[in-house]
Amino acid sequence: MTTLRDQLKALGLCHIADGLDDLIALATKKRWGPTEILEHVARLEIEDRSRRSVERRLARARIGRFKPIADFDWAWPKRIDRPAVEAALRLEFLDGAGNVVLVAPQGLGKTNLAKAIAYNAVLAGHSVRFVTAAQMLLDLAAQESARALDQRIRRYLRPALLVVDEIGYLSYDSRNADLLFQIVSRRYEHKSLVLTTNLPFVDWPTVFPNATSATALIDRLVHHADIIAIEGDSYRRRDAEADKKSRRKKAA
């Protein structure tokens, strides 16, 4: 005959099964009745399933490492719209399938902010995918048939939030520009995007094959979008200079 632990696992109550001895000891100590025991079992199982759901969504999101937003130095940039960033972190743009575009030179934390937004979306129960523009376009361009390409595009259409990092760091040929346009246009007014770029929109034609493709892409991005520009000197350069000074002091 199967044990109670085996029966609980067969019902999918694995967390309760693993902690069965502790549960029985606690129920005995507190002299719980049947209703109290069932309430405790339900609460434990819901908490465990919620935790595992977050872990699965985080794994699929591929956000990677980032600094907590509590450590972000708001005073360093010369220009940053903090209320707009905090609204994005509260995911207000998701309700209307809006977009967020973070525009900043290298080293000012736009990728970190994008990852923080993605992380908050995962915690809020949304499906998320984080990818650099180069990774996504390389993945799409590698598909050898129209059917395979359509199936792969659907992977980037499926998440409630798609975060595309580092647009503008590399020049795009006509093929890559078309693939990026397909992703943006097919998500347009259906699901949200967060994009980071080192270029103001006026400079996008310099990395796209022609001004028309850049204009069409920008038109769909900025409609229903919060454009957050960050200006200033690089955090990384500041930290590198601070480390250099520290090493000099130690050497002295």
Number of domains in the chain: 2
Q: For the chain, list residues with pLDDT below 70.
A: 1, 236-249, 251-252
Q: What is the pLDDT of residue 171?
A: 85
Q: What is the pLDDT of residue 172?
A: 87
Please name the residues in contact with 165: beta carbons below 8 A apart, sequence gap of 6 or more.
Answer: 111, 114, 130, 131, 132, 133, 195, 196
Same domain? For 76 and 46 the reply is: no
Q: What is the CATH number of the domain that holds 105?
A: 3.40.50.300
Q: Which domain covers residue 167, as residue numbers? A: 69-237
- In angstroms, rounded to a whole number, what is the distance separating the alpha carbons of residues 137 and 172? 10
Q: What is the pLDDT of residue 240?
A: 64
Asked whether residue 210 is assigned to any structural domain, the reply reads: yes
Same domain? For 27 and 96 the reply is: no
Asked whether residue 250 is assigned to any structural domain, the reply reads: no
Same domain? For 55 and 77 the reply is: no
- In angstroms, rounded to a whole number, what is the distance separating the alpha carbons of residues 179 and 186? 11
Asked whether residue 252 is assigned to any structural domain, the reply reads: no
Asked whether residue 151 is assigned to any structural domain, the reply reads: yes
Asked whether residue 248 is assigned to any structural domain, the reply reads: no
- pLDDT tens, residue by residue, 3-35: 999 999 998 999 999 999 999 999 999 999 999
Asked whether residue 249 is assigned to any structural domain, the reply reads: no
Same domain? For 40 and 84 the reply is: no
